[in-house]
C-alpha cells in the first residue's frame, strides 16, 4: 500500500495544458510554409521528390491531405522556398481547405448552432480503422492517456456505433473494409459527424491509387472534418475536434505564420 502511494506521488501530475504552454520540438514537422516567390523558373524539384504526389506546380500548391509530412520536398528544393514549422494546427472542414498555396490555412470552423447545442459539451465517437497501419489508431488511443486526457473536454470514444454521435475513420478504405465501414456509418444515429484522420483516410496517402483501396473516406461516406498528418500529432487531432465544436475562439486562434 505504501508503495502504491509512493509511486503515485512520484508520478505527479502529467496532464498537458491545451493549447500547450511549450512549442513542439524544433524538428517536429507541422504546417509547412511555401514561398513561391523564390522558385526558379521551370524548377520541378519538390514535385519530383514528393512520394505521394502531393505537390502541383503553377501555382505551387501543397495538398496537405496527401502529404505525409516527410522532409523530401524541403530537402530537394534548391532555393529554400519550403520550410517546416512546428505549428500543429492543421485540421480543416473541407477537402479544398487542405490545398496550401501560401501561409494561410483555413482552420476548421465550428459546427452550426444546432449541432453545437447537441455535441458541443458531449461528443461520443466510434473509431473505424479501414486499412490504417495502426499509426493514426495509436495517436487516437494516445488521446485517452493522462497527458492528453481527451475526456476532460467531454469527448469520448465508445464501443458501439449505436452509442456514437460520429465516426472517426483512419486508413485508405480497403476494398475489404468498405462494406463494414458503410454498415458502421449506417448504424450511427442521425445527426452524425464523420472525421477523417490521417493522409490515408483523406486521400489514400501512401496507398494512393492502390487497386486494393478506395483513396480514403470520402469514397464511401461524407466527411465533416479532415485532420491531416502521417499520423497527425495528438495535439493536431485535439485541436481539430475542439475547433469543430467551437471550443477554441477562432478570432484569437487565427493561424499566422
Partner 1 sequence: MNLGGCSARNGVAVVTTAIPQLAPEAWRLWIVTTCQTARARLLALPTAATAEGGRCVYAILGLDTRNELRIAATTFPAGHAAYPALTPDLPEAQLFERVVYEQHGIFPEGHPWLKPVRTQRDYPFFAVEGDAVHEVAVGPVHAGIIEPGHFRFQCHGEQVLHLEIALGYQHRGASALLRVATPARRAVVAESLAGDTVIGHSWAYAQAIEGLAGVAVAHHAQQLRALALELERLANHVGDLGALAADIGYLPAAAYFGRLRGEFLNLLMELTGNRYGRSLVYPGGVCHAFTAALRARCGTKLAEAERDLKAIADLFFAESTVVTRLEQTGVVAKKVARQLGLVGPAARASNLLRDVRTDYPSGAYRFHYIPPVRLASGDVYARALLRVLEAQQALTFAAEQCRIVHRVEPGAPCESLAADRLVVSLIEGWRGEIVHVVRTDAYGAIDAYDVVDPSFHNWMGLAWACRGGQISDFPLCNKSFNLSYAGHDL
Hey, which residues between 123 and 142 contact partner 1 (CB under 8 A)?
127-142
Residue 38, burial from CB neighbour count under 10 angstroms (0-12, 13-18, 19+): middle
Length in residues, the chain? 257
Stretch that binds partner 1, among 20-28, 56-64, 98-106, 215-223 (CB under 8 A): 20-28
Hey, which residues between 71 and 110 contact partner 1 (CB under 8 A)?
71-72, 84
Stretch that binds partner 1, among 36-44, 97-105, 199-207, 220-228 (CB under 8 A): 199-207
d(CA 195, CA 227): 8
Told to check if 18 binds partner 1 by CB under 8 A, we report: no
CB 161 within 8 A of CB 187: yes
Told to check if 156 binds partner 1 by CB under 8 A, we report: no
Told to check if 176 binds partner 1 by CB under 8 A, we report: yes
CB of 110 to partner 1, least distance (A): 25
Q: Which of 103, 124, 154, 157 binds partner 1 (CB under 8 A)?
A: 157
Minimum CB distance to partner 1 smaller for 104 or for 180: 180
Q: Tell whether omega for the bond before 177 is within 30 degrees of 0, i.e. cis.
A: no
Q: Which of 61, 85, 94, 210 binds partner 1 (CB under 8 A)?
A: 210
C-alpha cell read off for 60? 505551387
Minimum CB distance to partner 1 smaller for 18 or for 157: 157
Minimum CB distance to partner 1 smaller for 88 or for 226: 88
How is 188-233 classified by DSSP, letter by letter? Answer: SPSS-EEEEESHHHHH-GGGTT-TTB-SSGGGTS--SEEE-SSSPP
- The H or E element spanning position 170 is strand 166-170
CB 245 within 8 A of CB 116: yes
- The H or E element spanning position 169 is strand 166-170
Interface contacts to partner 1, rule CB under 8 A? 3-4, 7-8, 10-11, 14, 24-25, 27-29, 49-52, 68-72, 84, 127-142, 145-147, 157, 159-161, 171-172, 174-177, 180, 184, 200, 205-207, 210-213, 230-231, 233
Amino acid at each position: 500500500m505504501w508503495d502504491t502511494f509512493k509511486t503515485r506521488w512520484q508520478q505527479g501530475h502529467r496532464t498537458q495544458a491545451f493549447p500547450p504552454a511549450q512549442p513542439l520540438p524544433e524538428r517536429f514537422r507541422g504546417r509547412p510554409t511555401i514561398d513561391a516567390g523564390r522558385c526558379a523558373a521551370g524548377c520541378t524539384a519538390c514535385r519530383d521528390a514528393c512520394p505521394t504526389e502531393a505537390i502541383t506546380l503553377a501555382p505551387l500548391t501543397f495538398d496537405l491531405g496527401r502529404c505525409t509530412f516527410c522532409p523530401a520536398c524541403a530537402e530537394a528544393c534548391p532555393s529554400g522556398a519550403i520550410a517546416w514549422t512546428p505549428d500543429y494546427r492543421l485540421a480543416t472542414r473541407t477537402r479544398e481547405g487542405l490545398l496550401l498555396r501560401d501561409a494561410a490555412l483555413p482552420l476548421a470552423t465550428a459546427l452550426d448552432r444546432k449541432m453545437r447545442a447537441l455535441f458541443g459539451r458531449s461528443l461520443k465517437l466510434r473509431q473505424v480503422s479501414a486499412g490504417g497501419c495502426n499509426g493514426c489508431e495509436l495517436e487516437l488511443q494516445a488521446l485517452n492517456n493522462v497527458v492528453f486526457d481527451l475526456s476532460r473536454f467531454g469527448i469520448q470514444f465508445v464501443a458501439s456505433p449505436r452509442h456514437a454521435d460520429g465516426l472517426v475513420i483512419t486508413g485508405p478504405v480497403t476494398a475489404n473494409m468498405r462494406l463494414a465501414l458503410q454498415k458502421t456509418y449506417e448504424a450511427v444515429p442521425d445527426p452524425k459527424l464523420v472525421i477523417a484522420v490521417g493522409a490515408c483516410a483523406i486521400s489514400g496517402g501512401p496507398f494512393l491509387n492502390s487497386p486494393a483501396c478506395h483513396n480514403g473516406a470520402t469514397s464511401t461516406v461524407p466527411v465533416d472534418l479532415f485532420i491531416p498528418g502521417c499520423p497527425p500529432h495528438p495535439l493536431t487531432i485535439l485541436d481539430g475536434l475542439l475547433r469543430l465544436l467551437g471550443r477554441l475562439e477562432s478570432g484569437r486562434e487565427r493561424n499566422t505564420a
